[in-house]
Amino acid sequence: ALEKKVVKSKAGEKIGLPCCHEIPSSESLDNYRVYWQKNTTDVVLAYAEGKKISQHERYKNRAKMDTSNLTLWISPVEILDNGPYQCVVQHLRFSQNSVVVCDELVSLFVTAEFSKPNITAEVSAHSCESTEMVVRCSSHGGFPKPKISGDLNNVSVVWNASWVSESSLSPYNVTGKLLLNVTKDVSITCSVGYNGFVKSTSLLLKKMNDCIVPTVPPSYNVITASSIIIIIFLLAITLAARYLVRH
């Protein structure tokens, strides 16, 4: 194979992998052997002299070949179908000999969409000035390994991200975490995806406003001065009353 072609698809779709040879209208599949192989070792589907002679168990009821242009059709396509495929075509010119007329690779790249991100916020502490929050963003079921990004009031933020997948060809679950000190109401956005396939969610984070300012008791000097003034006032009234009684 001198050149490698790439076919892209989403999980669940029907996809066709083109072969490097097309049978002329003057001939039929009876004159050929056709092998569709994956990773150059596993035979997905094989025909000889017009009859199907082999099919891989994992592709049973999912793969078939066009008997004219030899395209391999897979439906529904799965994440595990990712990888290189090889179309090998032999022409049976003589009863005992065959000639290879085609041997070419085509690579299948299958993607799966992630769920819409889910954002949660948990208050860890708050004061009159700010509210401390633990914000998490999660998404699941996509492929390949995604990027997670976001912004806070249109300013980019970096998530502390973690990914979980059973294998290199299994769906990914991703979770991002942020520690925020919120001093006013802000909007946070979380985006999960790869290349042009991105899904986003936004959430309004509100600063807690149930702060009660404690009443400051008057100082000792203020209390003392006020007491002296009141005592002097009472003494003045008492003396004035006695003076009026005598006169």
Domains of the chain, by residue range, sit at 5-110, 115-205
Q: Is 70 exceeded by the pLDDT of residue 223? A: no
pLDDT at position 65 over 80: yes
What is the tens place of the pLDDT at every residue in 148-158?
999 999 899 99
pLDDT, the chain, mean: 88
Are 68 and 82 in contact by the 8 Å Cβ rule? The answer is: no
* Cα-Cα-Cα-Cα dihedral sign, residues 223, 229, 232, 237: negative
Q: Is the pLDDT of residue 173 over 50?
A: yes
Identify each DSSP E strand in 127-185 by its residue range.
Answer: 131-142, 147-152, 155-157, 160-164, 172-182
pLDDT of residue 1: 40
How far apart CA 133 and CA 138 sit, in angstroms, is 16
Domain 5-110 is found in CATH 2.60.40.10: yes
CA distances from 177 to 128, 157, 191, 234, 237 (A): 25, 11, 13, 68, 72
Pairing verdict, β 160-164 and 172-182: antiparallel
* Average pLDDT, integer, range 151-166: 94
Of the pLDDT bands very low, low, confident and very high (cuts 50, 70, 90), residue 120 is very high
Percent of the chain with pLDDT over 70: 88
Are 5-110 and 115-205 equal in CATH topology?
A: yes
- Its pTM stands at 0.74
Indicate the burial class of 150 (C-beta count within 10 angstroms; 0-12, 13-18, 19 or more): buried
What gap in Å lies between CA 59 and CA 64, rounded to an integer? 9
CB atoms < 10 A from the CB of 81, how many?
23
Domain 115-205 fold is: Immunoglobulin-like (2.60.40)
